[in-house]
Structure 1
Amino acid sequence: MKELRVLVTGGASGIGAATVRRFAQDGARVVVLDRDPAPGAHGVRADLSDDASVRAAVAEAVAHLGGLDVLVNNAGVGAVGDVTANDDEEWHRVYDVNVLGIVRTTRAALPHLRASGHAAVVNTCSIAAWTGLPQRALYSATKGAVQALTLAMAADHLADGIRVNCVNPGTADTPWVQRLLDATDDPAAERAALQARQPTGRLVSADEVAHAVVHLADPRSSATTGVVLAVDGGTHSLRLPARQG
């Protein structure tokens, strides 16, 4: 991992920030692409809904790093409600960031990844791509698209020597989830319900997701591509008896 050149979108907070820290701890050189890069790692500012902005930011990151080995497409936005809850404008906005944001960033990064001997792309997807979650219609639709896009990209770029995988976190203990909880009438009760939904009885930590991302990007995982890796406390695969008491 030493001196691996990494670009992380949405790396200023939550899972992205944890991923940046983990890469840095393992000796990689990291640039953060974000609307508002936080102090610490080298940051470039970009709006994922603007192709020119993305291309300029990727070019700046590559110039700083001297090339690119790993792209982590982590940035995304949320949405709440059933299929009737969001108007067309909101559907377009969330798809523009969550799906087309990955397309724009990867498209700009591809020439540089093709030149790497250890090229990998890791997309942050969600358990929502697999599991029907209440009041998450728009968000789930975008994450289903991200999962399908990941597999298509893995097939398309195998001959380029670029591995493409994604992680599907369960409900993670991040600032975004906390903001959702804070907007409810009883945040403590809502948090308890989210914890109970996961077989482990707790939320996934950002560091646990970051560990999975770095594992998939690691050159030692060279036989791993086209993989959807759940980091969800068993939500997707386990069906346990209801807890008593």
Structure 2
Amino acid sequence: MGRLDGKTVLITAAAQGIGRRSAQLCASEGAVVIATDVNAAALAELATESPSVTVRRLDVLRRDEIETLAAELADSVDVLFNCAGCVPDGDAADTTDDVWQQTFDLNVRSMFWLCRAFLPAFRRRRAGSIINMASVAGLKGVPRRLAYGASKAAVVGLTKCLAADTVADGIRCNCICPGTVDTPSWRGRVAASHDPQRARAQFEARQPMGRVGTADEIAWMVVYLASDESSFTTGASMVVDGGWSM
């Protein structure tokens, strides 16, 4: 018997990295998974791996696409995992207005749109779990992550306010705050650095455990928050960071 038997989980940014592993692990634990992303080709590959995973192309920057999807599926969704995001580099001197806006649009506003679209159905059923992807960078200062850190701090605040607004409706809302995790996005940032070998070593050294995390280690937290095992948990920021924030 799976930990998520009988549940339907909708995941954004499910084509790679943490979103993809979350889709795979949720399906392995018995959930019906609706995996969404803008990368239709990568989604198609994911769909071949499990009969429990269905895929839908979704641009989370398009409110009309979100509302259309929610109108079709919200009544059947038990868990919403907002995983989409970006990690721009920059401090106050070189973060442009465009980068700031793009970061908040993807990391925060799209999450707000998705929560708002799915909440009415959750409220009607007096049940539902919302999981938002935050970051340790939203809890502590990280050099050259100004827009990213500010946006992830906003995700923590959004999560707590949603939890407070919906706890009486039987809805739970929590966020996950990872440290550095080995994903295609992270590998791309390392490869694009001036000295990739040195950059990788620096990322590993700042984690007290001496390594970066794996997508599995974050995805299992998604499974926990999606399951009834976490039924007494709401408004929490679940830190999974190898001790970086100690």
Give TM-score scaled by structure 1 length. Answer: 0.92
1:169-191 per-residue CA deviation (whole Å, 9 max, x = no partner) reads: 00000011111001112211111
1:53 partner letter: E
- The alignment partner of 2:93 has SS state of coil
2:233 partner letter: T
Partner of 1:20: 23
Match for residue 8 of structure 1 among 4, 8, 11: 11
- State, as a whole percentage, how many aligned pairs show the same letter: 39
Partner of 1:189: 198
Partner of 2:109: 100
Partner of 1:34: 37
Cα distance between partner residues in 2 of 1:201 and 1:87: 33
1:15-41 per-residue CA deviation (whole Å, 9 max, x = no partner) reads: 000110110000000101211241213
2:26 partner letter: F
Partner of 1:57: 69
Match for residue 128 of structure 1 among 128, 137, 146: 137
2:216 partner letter: D
Cα distance between partner residues in 2 of 1:187 and 1:120: 39
1:49 to partner: Cα distance: 1.8
1:74-107 per-residue CA deviation (whole Å, 9 max, x = no partner) reads: 1111210101222212211110111001001111
1:117 to partner: Cα distance: 5.7
Partner of 1:91: 100
Greater helix share, 1 or 2?
Answer: 2
- The alignment partner of 1:158 has SS state of helix
Cα distance between partner residues in 1 of 2:23 and 2:72: 18
Whether the 8 Å CA contact 2:126–2:169 is kept in 1: the answer is no
Cα distance between partner residues in 2 of 1:200 and 1:216: 24
Partner of 2:58: 46
For residues 61 and 45 of structure 1, do their structure 2 counterparts lie closer, same or farther at Cα, with a shift above 3 Å needed?
farther
Partner of 1:222: 231
Match for residue 152 of structure 1 among 157, 161, 173: 161
Whether the 8 Å CA contact 1:169–1:230 is kept in 2: the answer is yes
Cα distance between partner residues in 2 of 1:135 and 1:208: 25
Cα distance between partner residues in 2 of 1:117 and 1:29: 20
Cα distance between partner residues in 2 of 1:133 and 1:151: 22
Whether the 8 Å CA contact 1:166–1:229 is kept in 2: the answer is yes
Whether the 8 Å CA contact 1:69–1:117 is kept in 2: the answer is no
Partner of 2:189: 180
Cα distance between partner residues in 1 of 2:210 and 2:70: 39
Instruction: Name structure 2 gaps, 5 residues minimum.
Output: 48-52
Cα distance between partner residues in 2 of 1:155 and 1:139: 25
Instruction: Name structure 1 gaps, 5 residues minimum.
Output: 238-245
Whether the 8 Å CA contact 1:31–1:61 is kept in 2: the answer is no
Q: What's the C-alpha RMSD, in Å, of the aligned pairs?
A: 1.3
2:241 counterpart of 1:232: yes
